[in-house]
């Protein structure tokens, strides 16, 4: 005999215990379904610097729902977890810790000692976020957990780097790059965020050489003029055509720079003259290449001015700006200053304004990698869900520049390039060479730089499965099935995984990319530390439970859209779970332990209400399966919620209570069996969304031998198709609702039993009503049901219409005639509005000629129904008026 459920559900007594039980049983591994078709998700690896926030909770819940669903459906479901070493963010943390605790810089202790501290820090903190994901219920296969800097991933990084290099797709050269003066490292285009800033536009006079005239240029960064090596005009600009090839004197440094003609210049903007600083502006850089302009870099790595800046050397860039402006004023060369709103690039990690400057770095040639990646999505080898995100993907790849992959950091994958200290030969190799391939010297030094974090992340779908080794996991689980991620990293990560997967594996790394939105606060704002509007999911789990948090996230979700967080929603989810617990407790208290052994008797004696709920359950199962296959997780969850709460708890349980308490053993067995079957199906459907409470209730179900986590997922059952019974019970429910509404409007207490009179030409409905008295007694406080003729209607009767049935209730002296007239007038007004709406629609030839025939027919049926109901309402009004 199973133990009795506690009166109230306490998630704190269940969640940690249940998670540990699942883990111990090995349920998170795909081997629980060894012969199943593979279903694979690789977790977007969270940074080891972070902690669980609502974005992680959202992302993790979506992945867990899909994994649990597929696991129950017999798939060898692998959700592969891992974390990212996050080069820049981690280095900032470790450097700060070193300074605060030891008063030292990383240079003070050296690279080897620094790396020891970085690894200690990483090993301490990388488990923190995974432990937090476990609190959420994440059913990852932790035995396969990976880290972007573990031995296998590091081997994969070296393999990919060398492969790309040998194909001529990686090169080292001096190009214009984005530079963060605070982090002191290069950044890729994807790592620069742009923000609107209020600034100025300074108009500066550049004197023409040996003339009394000048050209006026406008700039938002006067300090960069110290690196000017030319000015540009449009070659068709008649104002300046005669000056092309001549020179101007660069103010402050008093040197000649050339005037060039280039189509890049916009003749209509400003004066039509643009200063050229090829070492500090990407557009100037390209113009400079076309006209062989000198690249003069005037910034140091820390944002101060170098010796090429003349007397301004050593100044901070903003200090230099002030000095330059003052000197230009003093020389009479500052024509005017205008307010100017413009986009300014900022480091995505520290928000420092970045500098663009030429620098020797490592780059990946992107053109030949981007083409097959574009084709993969266009040909539907990979599909974005929803597909509107294709545009973001296409736009980035179609306009992509070569990818700067080197970073001036110590924490990360060190670039596998080696230099001979004696002859200068460069060797790119997977393993460190012992001797120089050119001169034989053993004096070899490895490149100081590390790779962009996104380089290793781009290999994630296959490096985590054992590549470059040909492992069993790689063979079975690649390509993966679906990637679940936010729209904010489509170009950071998704595109890179696709082109790296195509390059190394010859096929796209995933079939589907499910794009979700962001969790915003109740006002629609992005959650951030600066706004102080962040929500800690761990606190929500502590207060409401992991299941309540998960269900709230899912029911508010549709692919690609942001959701607004509201505490009322998580409270509603908790209430729903309590409803399920209480309903299950009631059902189990009324089930025989051997009920599933009585299946044959139960099925043979099913009543119409049993068949109705089984048939409705069957429909919901079919619809939920369709929604899940389309990644419509929010819709699926809402349908399960409505069915469980409204149809099962509020209707079916109440409908069968008299049978549970009666003496008819056969009907009791059928009711018990149906309660058990539907509850079991609800729990299975709910399990991917709310795993803890469903597993806990499942253990109490009579006839249960296994755990719900590995139970079979429900599918449509031909044995549970009862359309006629569905119609009958829906009709009875409509009648009960009508009676309840009348009693509520008349303020009749439930303790006051009333007679029910009915008029209809449909004998089946009259018979059904008569044989269903026990339902009306229980659910509508009806004492008796009687069929009458119209001439038997008394003045103190109030009425309602259900399909072709007129219902009358004798309220004796409780009837307020004026109140009933008012109610009928209100109903008349509503009906007239519907009749007018449908009539207007049907009188519109555009609708009747173009709409599908079925749609038009449905509107005509509505019109007839409204008119028939109106006739009955008018009859009642006429009766009371007399």
812 pLDDT exceeds 70? no
Q: Is 185-356 in CATH node 3.40.225.10?
A: no
How many whole angstroms separate alpha carbon 178 and alpha carbon 690?
46
DSSP 3-state assignment of 60? helix
Question: How much of the chain, in percent, has pLDDT values that exceed 70?
Answer: 98
Find out whether 684 and 695 touch, Cβ atoms under 8 Å: no
Find out whether 578 and 680 touch, Cβ atoms under 8 Å: no
220 pLDDT exceeds 80? yes
What's the pLDDT score for residue 668?
Answer: 95
Find out whether 52 and 538 touch, Cβ atoms under 8 Å: yes
In CATH, what number does 816-882 get?
Answer: 1.10.287
Q: What token pair was written down for 802?
A: 């259900």
How many whole angstroms separate alpha carbon 318 and alpha carbon 222?
10
What's the pLDDT score for residue 815?
Answer: 55
DSSP 3-state assignment of 43? coil
386 burial class (0-12, 13-18, 19+ CB within 10 angstroms)?
A: middle
What would the pLDDT profile of 152-204 be if each residue is shown by its tens digit? Answer: 999 999 999 999 999 999 999 999 999 999 888 998 877 888 888 888 999 99
Confidence of residue 813 (pLDDT cuts 50, 70, 90): very low
132 against 528, higher pLDDT: 132
Averaged pLDDT for residues 136-158 = 96
Q: Helical H runs in 14-53?
A: 15-25
What would the pLDDT profile of 533-590 be if each residue is shown by its tens digit? Answer: 777 888 889 999 999 999 999 997 888 788 888 888 999 999 999 999 999 999 999 9
DSSP 3-state assignment of 345? strand
What's the pLDDT score for residue 678?
Answer: 98
How many whole angstroms separate alpha carbon 173 and alpha carbon 424?
16
Max avg pLDDT among 113-122, 134-143, 486-495: 134-143
Q: What token pair was written down for 756?
A: 């029910």
What's the pLDDT score for residue 447?
Answer: 96
Using omega within 30 degrees of 0 as the cis cutoff, is the peptide bond preceding 479 cis? yes
Averaged pLDDT for residues 315-327 = 96
What's the pLDDT score for residue 816?
Answer: 61
Confidence of residue 119 (pLDDT cuts 50, 70, 90): very high
φ/ψ bin of 524: left (φ > 0), alpha (ψ from -120 to 50), beta (otherwise): left
Domain boundaries, the chain: 185-356, 816-882
Find out whether 5 and 700 touch, Cβ atoms under 8 Å: yes
How many whole angstroms separate alpha carbon 387 and alpha carbon 378?
11
Q: What token pair was written down for 395?
A: 């736009």
Taking the CA atoms of the chain, what radius of gyration do you get in angstroms? 37
Q: Whose CA is closest to 476, among 33, 68, 163, 151?
A: 33
What would the pLDDT profile of 278-309 be if each residue is shown by its tens digit? Answer: 999 999 999 999 999 999 999 999 999 999 99
What would the pLDDT profile of 671-710 be if each residue is shown by its tens digit? Answer: 999 999 999 999 999 999 999 999 999 999 998 889 999 9
145 pLDDT exceeds 60? yes
What would the pLDDT profile of 616-669 be if each residue is shown by its tens digit? Answer: 999 999 999 999 999 999 999 999 999 999 999 999 999 999 899 988 999 999
811 pLDDT exceeds 80? no
The answer to the question of whether 529 is labelled as a binding residue is: yes
How many whole angstroms separate alpha carbon 333 and alpha carbon 313?
21
What's the mean pLDDT when you consider all of the chain?
92
How many whole angstroms separate alpha carbon 396 and alpha carbon 499?
13
Find out whether 392 and 491 touch, Cβ atoms under 8 Å: yes
What's the pLDDT score for residue 575?
Answer: 96
Find out whether 556 and 600 touch, Cβ atoms under 8 Å: no
Question: How much of the chain, in percent, has pLDDT values that exceed 90?
Answer: 71
What's the pLDDT score for residue 814?
Answer: 54
Question: b/e string for 456-471 if b means 16 or more Cβ within 10 A?
Answer: bbbbbbbbbbbbbeee
Q: How many CA atoms lie within 13 A of 821 on its CB side?
A: 10
Using omega within 30 degrees of 0 as the cis cutoff, is the peptide bond preceding 196 cis? no
How many whole angstroms separate alpha carbon 7 and alpha carbon 10?
10
| Phi, psi for residue 783 in degrees, rounded to 5 | -90, -30
What's the pLDDT score for residue 537?
Answer: 86
What would the pLDDT profile of 377-433 be if each residue is shown by its tens digit? Answer: 999 999 999 999 999 999 999 999 899 999 999 999 999 999 999 999 999 999 999
Averaged pLDDT for residues 474-494 = 91
What's the pLDDT score for residue 530?
Answer: 64
Q: What token pair was written down for 793?
A: 């209607």
Q: What DSSP string describes 690-739? A: SHHHHHHHHTTSTT--S-GGGSPPP---GGG--HHHHHHHHHHHHHHHHH
Averaged pLDDT for residues 511-522 = 87
How many whole angstroms separate alpha carbon 372 and alpha carbon 503?
9
Q: How many CA atoms lie within 13 A of 318 on its CB side?
A: 5
848 pLDDT exceeds 70? yes
Using omega within 30 degrees of 0 as the cis cutoff, is the peptide bond preceding 386 cis? yes
What's the pLDDT score for residue 704?
Answer: 87
């Amino acid at each position: 005999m199973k133990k009795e459920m506690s009166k109230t559900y306490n998630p704190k007594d269940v969640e940690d215990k249940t998670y540990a039980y699942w883990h111990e049983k090995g349920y998170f591994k795909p081997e629980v379904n060894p012969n199943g078709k593979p279903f694979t998700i690789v977790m977007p690896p969270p940074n080891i610097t972070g902690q669980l926030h609502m974005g992680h909770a959202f992302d993790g819940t979506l992945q867990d729902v899909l994994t649990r669903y597929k696991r129950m459906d017999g798939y060898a479901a692998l959700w592969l977890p891992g974390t990212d070493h996050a080069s820049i963010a981690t280095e900032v943390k470790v450097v700060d810790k070193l300074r605060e605790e030891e008063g030292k810089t990383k240079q003070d202790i050296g690279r080897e000692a620094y790396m020891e501290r970085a690894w200690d820090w990483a090993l301490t903190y990388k488990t923190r976020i995974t432990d937090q994901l476990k609190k959420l219920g994440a059913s990852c296969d932790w035995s396969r957990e990976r880290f972007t800097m573990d031995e296998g991933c590091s081997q994969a990084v070296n393999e990919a780097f060398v492969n790309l290099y040998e194909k001529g797709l990686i090169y080292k050269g001096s190009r214009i790059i984005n530079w963060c003066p605070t982090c002191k490292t290069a950044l890729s285009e994807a790592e620069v965020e742009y923000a609107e800033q209020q600034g100025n536009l300074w108009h500066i006079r550049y004197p023409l050489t040996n003339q009394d005239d000048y050209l006026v240029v406008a700039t938002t960064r006067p300090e960069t003029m110290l690196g000017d090596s030319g000015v540009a005009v449009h070659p068709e600009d008649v104002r300046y055509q005669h000056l092309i090839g001549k020179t101007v004197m660069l103010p402050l440094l008093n040197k000649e720079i050339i005037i060039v003609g280039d189509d890049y210049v916009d003749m209509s903007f400003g004066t039509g003259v643009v200063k050229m600083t090829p070492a500090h502006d990407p557009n100037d850089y390209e113009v400079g290449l076309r006209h062989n302009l000198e690249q003069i870099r005037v910034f140091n790595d820390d944002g101060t001015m170098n010796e090429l800046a003349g007397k301004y050397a050593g100044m901070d860039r903003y200090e230099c700006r002030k000095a330059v402006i003052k000197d230009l004023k003093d020389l009479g060369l500052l024509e005017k200053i205008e307010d100017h709103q413009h986009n300014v690039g900022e480091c995505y990690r520290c928000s420092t304004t970045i500098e663009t400057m030429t620098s020797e770095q490592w780059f990946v040639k992107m053109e030949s990698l981007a083409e097959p990646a574009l084709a993969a999505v266009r040909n539907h080898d990979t599909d974005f869900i929803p597909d509107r995100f294709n545009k973001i993907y296409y736009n980035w790849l179609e306009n992509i520049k070569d990818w700067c992959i080197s970073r001036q950091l110590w924490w990360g994958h060190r670039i596998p390039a080696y230099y001979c200290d004696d002859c200068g030969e460069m060797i790119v190799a997977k393993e460190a060479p012992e001797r120089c391939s050119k001169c034989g010297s053993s004096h070899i030094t490895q490149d100081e730089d590390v790779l962009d974090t996104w380089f290793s992340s781009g290999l994630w779908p296959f490096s985590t499965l054992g590549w470059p080794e040909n492992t069993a996991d790689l063979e079975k689980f690649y390509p993966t099935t679906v990637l679940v991620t936010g729209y904010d990293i489509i170009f950071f990560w998704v595109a890179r995984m696709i082109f790296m997967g195509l390059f190394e594996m010859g096929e796209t790394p995933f079939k589907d990319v499910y794009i979700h939105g962001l969790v915003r606060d109740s006002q629609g704002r992005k959650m951030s530390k600066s706004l102080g509007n962040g929500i800690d999911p761990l606190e929500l789990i502590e207060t409401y439970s992991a299941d309540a948090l998960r269900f709230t996230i899912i029911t508010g979700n549709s692919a690609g859209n942001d959701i607004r967080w509201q505490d009322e929603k998580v409270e509603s989810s908790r209430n729903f779970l309590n409803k399920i617990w209480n309903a299950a407790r009631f059902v189990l208290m009324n089930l025989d332990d051997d009920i599933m052994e009585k299946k044959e008797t139960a099925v043979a004696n099913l009543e119409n209400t049993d068949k109705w709920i089984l048939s409705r359950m069957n429909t919901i199962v079919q619809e939920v399966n369709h929604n899940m296959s389309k990644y419509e997780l929010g819709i699926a969850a809402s349908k399960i919620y409505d069915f469980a709460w409204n149809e099962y708890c509020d209707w079916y349980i109440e409908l069968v209570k008299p049978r549970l308490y009666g003496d008819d053993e056969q009907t009791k067995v059928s009711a018990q069996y149906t309660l058990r079957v539907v509850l079991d199906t609800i729990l299975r459907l709910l399990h991917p969304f709310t795993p803890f409470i469903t597993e806990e209730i499942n253990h109490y179900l009579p006839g249960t031998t296994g755990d719900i986590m590995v139970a079979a997922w429900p599918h449509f059952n031909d044995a549970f198709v009862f359309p006629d019974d569905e119609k009958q019970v829906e009709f009875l429910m409509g009648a009960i609702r009508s009676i309840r509404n009348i009693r509520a409007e008349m303020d009749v207490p439930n303790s006051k039993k009333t007679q029910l009179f009915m008029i209809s030409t449909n004998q089946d409905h009259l018979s059904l009503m008569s044989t269903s008295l026990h339902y009306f007694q229980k659910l509508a406080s009806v004492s008796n049901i009687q069929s009458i003729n119209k001439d038997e209607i008394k003045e103190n009767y109030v009425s309602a219409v259900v399909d072709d049935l007129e219902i009358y209730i004798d309220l004796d002296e409780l009837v307020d005639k004026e109140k009933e007239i008012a109610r009928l007038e209100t109903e008349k007004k509503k009906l007239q509005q519907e009749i007018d709406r449908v009539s207007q629609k049907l009188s519109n030839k555009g609708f009747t000629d173009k709409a599908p025939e079925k749609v038009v027919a449905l509107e005509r049926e509505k019109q007839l129904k409204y008119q028939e109901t109106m006739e009955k309402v008018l009859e009642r009004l006429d009766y009371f008026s007399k």
